[in-house]
């Protein structure tokens, strides 16, 4: 989560830099002593440069987001696999304990059926 927050902060920073650069360039061009045609050409050139930079920043942010998603997916798959293995181990241990308890109960039942029942003592006359 900390990595995602850092990525958002970096993206916001770059967006601020781009917006600030555009505003500064526009103000500088408008206040510069040039003809209208020269100013329009300069604005077009500057806006194309900033557009290209913005596309680069967006591409970089997309790549980082995809990498973060892939990393999160790998971590989730590993956690799921570990949980599945633990559940299987617990199930197997429970099955073994049940079998052992069942065998012990059978053994006690067999021992009690081997003992002769208390028969009444014969009556003397």
| Total domain count, the chain | 1
Asked if residue 45 belongs to a domain, the reply is no
Contact indicator for 29, 42 with CB cutoff of 8 Å: yes
pLDDT in tens, 81-115: 999 999 999 999 999 999 999 998 888 877 776 65
> How much is the pLDDT for 101?
92
What pLDDT score was predicted for residue 2?
47
Tens of pLDDT, residues 54-64: 888 888 888 99
For residue 90, the enclosing domain spans 55-104
What the block records as the tokens of 106 is 């059978």
CA distance 18 to 41: 20
- Establish if 2 belongs to a structural domain: no
The sign of the dihedral angle between the CA atoms of 77, 81, 83, 84 is positive
31 pLDDT above the threshold of 90: no
Whether 34 is covered by a domain: the verdict is no
Residue 26 has pLDDT above 60, yes or no: yes
pLDDT in tens, 66-84: 999 999 999 999 999 999 9
In a domain, 20, yes or no: no
Band the pLDDT of 1: cuts 50, 70, 90. Answer: very low
Identify whether 67 is part of a domain.
yes
Q: Is residue 65 part of a domain?
A: yes
**CA 95, 101, 103, 105 torsion-angle sign:** negative
Please indicate, yes or no, if residue 83 is contained in any of the structural domains. yes
- Residue 36 in this model has a pLDDT that exceeds 50: yes
Instruction: Give a yes or no: residue 35 inside a domain.
Output: no
The residue count of the chain comes to: 125
């Amino acid at each position: 989560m900390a990595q995602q927050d850092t990525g958002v902060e970096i993206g916001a920073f770059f967006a601020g830099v781009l917006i600030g650069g555009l505003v500064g360039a526009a103000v500088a061009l408008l206040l510069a002593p040039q003809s209208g045609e020269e100013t329009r050409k300069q604005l077009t050139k500057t806006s194309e440069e900033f557009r290209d930079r913005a596309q680069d920043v967006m591409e970089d942010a997309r790549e980082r987001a995809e990498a973060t998603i892939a990393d999160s997916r790998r971590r989730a798959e590993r956690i799921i696999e570990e949980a599945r293995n633990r559940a299987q181990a617990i199930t197997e241990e429970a099955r073994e304990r049940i079998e052992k308890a069942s065998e012990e109960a059978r053994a006690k039942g067999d021992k009690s059926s081997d003992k002769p029942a208390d028969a009444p003592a014969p009556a003397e006359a």
